[in-house]
């Protein structure tokens, strides 16, 4: 076993995040996952941890968590990186004795970033006896799947989709979110703008023409109008998902007298837009503000020398969180994958931790029992404590990281010039399931 994993397991026990083996429960959540890629652990040995602690290897039928996210196409990086974080979590949990003494196992299916495909996958998981699903990178996918898991008596946990509707007017009992929502992310950005860019009053937007994009722009405008006197949105442009060309959308806003460009394009779409804006000079004298730009965009853009000055909000940014669990998570992930963890792998990682903690708390794999255990649960994570609110199933984080990224001096990478930590409880509205989020109002 990797030394970093052994060190991490000691911390897991100390923080009570993962319980040692405590025997099998009476419910059978095993399944035939022959149609899926699976990750499982060797269950024939015992493990000796730090200090000589011996942990019984998990045994019996595996508890399977079904992943639903893009593994191919323009958004593949979101799923592939989350998958890496999840695989680390499963390795550590199984090394610590599993969940209820049983091995934890992952199944993966490629949603292609398509809501209809996500619905199809969930029905496949149901037929295979897999009740607990996670992933769901798009808001449209979450909205499409939520009523299906309710109908099938399954659970879904999103580690990425952001629409406020999932905890508001479209709330359903079997949906849980282990990441931020649009309100939390954008209000964190606006708070950072108030502190660090107080003269940036004129803005333009280039954001995707679907639920998530329109939602984010409305929330940004409402939050800025609430908190920044003199704010104006001069122009908005709406490229479709996976647009091959952004030229027409870029030229529409290039000559505006703005200081900032707001965009919630992500993954391959953001990468393509940033490459294509260079000849037009959209960001030559403006800075970009965005939500959740991860390493899949930062690395290639900075390596090519084309990265603009960018303010980015991230639920997880590795250097932002000074605690032992984060140090060990970074070490274990780097040992396993050869790179520093970023937002996407961390989100997959804590989704698995949350399910594992809830199943242990429930003492069962019964869907209703695990649902009830998830409500109000608090887990210790690499970024601090995370609580899933009982009322609306939205996670609240100790702190949200907002970073200012600039090209490095050599022009082949990036530096984080500034980092602002925003308390998570300060940027989320009180729970109101069934009601529209006040920041979602058309603006």
DSSP 345-395: HHHHHHHHHHHHHHHHHHTS--HHHHHHHHTT-EEEETTEEEEE-TTT-BE
Q: What percent of the chain has pLDDT over 70?
A: 87
Q: Which of 265, 315, 267 is nearest to 295 (CA)?
A: 267
pLDDT at 39: 52
Q: What percent of the chain has pLDDT over 90?
A: 73
Measured CA angle at 138 (ends 132, 140), to 5 deg:
95
CB 105 within 8 A of CB 371: no
Q: Which of 147, 78, 23 is nearest to 348 (CA)?
A: 78
Kindly tell me if the per-residue pLDDT of 21 is higher than 50: no
- Does domain 183-314+398-440 fall under CATH 3.40.50.2300? My reply is yes
HSE-CB for 35 with a 13 A CA cutoff: 14
CB 292 within 8 A of CB 267: no
Q: Which of 437, 428, 441 is nearest to 179 (CA)?
A: 428
Kindly tell me if the per-residue pLDDT of 5 is higher than 60: no
Per-residue pLDDT averaged across 212-217, rounded? 89
Kindly tell me if the per-residue pLDDT of 8 is higher than 60: no
pLDDT at 75: 81
DSSP 310: E
Q: Which pLDDT tens digit goes with each residue over 60-108?
A: 999 999 999 999 987 888 899 999 999 999 999 999 999 999 999 999 9
End-to-end CA distance of the chain: 54
Query: Would you place residue 341 in the very low, low, confident or very high pLDDT band (cuts 50, 70, 90)?
Result: very high
Kindly tell me if the per-residue pLDDT of 36 is higher than 70: no
Range with lowest mean pLDDT among 53-57, 184-188, 275-279: 53-57
Task: Give the dihedral sign, CA 208/426/298/347.
Answer: negative
Q: Which pLDDT tens digit goes with each residue over 162-185?
A: 899 999 999 999 999 999 999 999
> What is the average pLDDT value for the chain, to the nearest integer?
88
Per-residue pLDDT averaged across 13-40, rounded? 41
CATH 3.40.50.2300 domain extents, the chain: 3-179+319-397, 183-314+398-440
CATH topology of domain 3-179+319-397: Rossmann fold (3.40.50)
- What is the token pair recorded at 31? 């399944």
- What is the token pair recorded at 246? 């952004």
CB 325 within 8 A of CB 11: yes
CB 192 within 8 A of CB 313: yes
Strands 310-314, 399-407: pairing kind: antiparallel
CB 385 within 8 A of CB 379: yes
Query: Would you place residue 37 in the very low, low, confident or very high pLDDT band (cuts 50, 70, 90)?
Result: low
Task: Give the dihedral sign, CA 167/169/170/173.
Answer: positive
CB neighbour list of residue 244: distance below 8 Å, 6 or more residues apart: 272
Greater confidence (51 vs 249) lies with 249
pLDDT at 357: 97
Query: Would you place residue 268 in the very low, low, confident or very high pLDDT band (cuts 50, 70, 90)?
Result: confident
Q: Which residues pair with 384 in a beta bridge?
A: 381
């Amino acid at each position: 076993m990797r030394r970093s994993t052994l060190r991490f397991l000691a911390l897991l026990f100390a923080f009570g995040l993962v319980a040692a083996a405590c025997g099998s429960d009476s419910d059978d959540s095993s399944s035939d996952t022959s149609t899926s890629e699976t990750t499982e652990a060797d269950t024939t040995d015992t493990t000796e941890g730090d200090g000589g602690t011996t942990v019984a290897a998990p045994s019996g039928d595996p508890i399977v968590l079904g992943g639903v996210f893009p593994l191919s196409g323009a958004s593949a990086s979101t799923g592939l990186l989350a998958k890496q974080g999840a695989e680390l979590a499963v390795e550590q949990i199984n090394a610590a004795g599993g969940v209820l003494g049983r091995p934890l196992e992952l199944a993966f299916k490629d949603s292609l970033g398509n809501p209809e495909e996500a619905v199809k996958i969930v029905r496949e998981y149901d037929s295979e006896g897999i009740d607990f699903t996670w992933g769901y990178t798009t808001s449209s996918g979450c909205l499409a799947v939520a009523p299906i898991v309710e109908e099938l008596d399954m659970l879904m946990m999103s580690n990425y989709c952001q629409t406020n509707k999932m905890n508001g007017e479209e709330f359903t009992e079997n949906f849980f979110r282990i990441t931020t929502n649009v309100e939390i992310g954008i209000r964190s950005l606006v708070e950072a703008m108030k502190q660090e860019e107080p003269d940036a009053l004129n803005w333009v937007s280039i954001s995707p023409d679907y639920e998530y994009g329109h939602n984010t722009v409305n929330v940004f405008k409402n939050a800025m109008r609430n908190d920044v006197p003199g704010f104006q949105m001069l122009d908005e442009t709406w490229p479709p998902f996976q647009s091959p060309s952004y030229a027409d959308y870029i030229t529409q806003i290039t000559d505006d007298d703005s200081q900032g460009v707001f965009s919630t394009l992500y993954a391959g779409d953001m990468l393509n837009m940033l490459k294509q804006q260079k000849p037009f000079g959209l960001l030559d004298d403006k800075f970009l503000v965005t939500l959740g730009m991860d390493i899949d965009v930062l690395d290639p853009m900075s390596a090519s020398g084309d990265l603009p000055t960018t303010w980015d909000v991230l639920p997880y940014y590795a250097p932002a969180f000074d605690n032992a669990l984060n140090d060990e998570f970074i070490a274990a992930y780097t040992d396993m994958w050869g790179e520093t963890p970023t937002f996407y792998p961390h989100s997959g990682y804590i989704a698995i931790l949350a399910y594992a903690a809830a199943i242990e708390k429930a003492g069962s794999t019964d869907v209703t029992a695990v649902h009830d255990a998830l409500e109000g649960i608090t887990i210790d994570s690499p970024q601090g404590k995370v609580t899933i609110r009982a009322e609306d199933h939205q996670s609240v984080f100790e702190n949200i990281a907002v970073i200012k990224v600039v090209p490095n001096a050599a022009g082949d990478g990036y530096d984080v010039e500034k980092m602002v930590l925003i308390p998570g409880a300060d940027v989320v509205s009180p729970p109101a399931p069934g009601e529209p989020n006040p920041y979602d109002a058309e603006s």
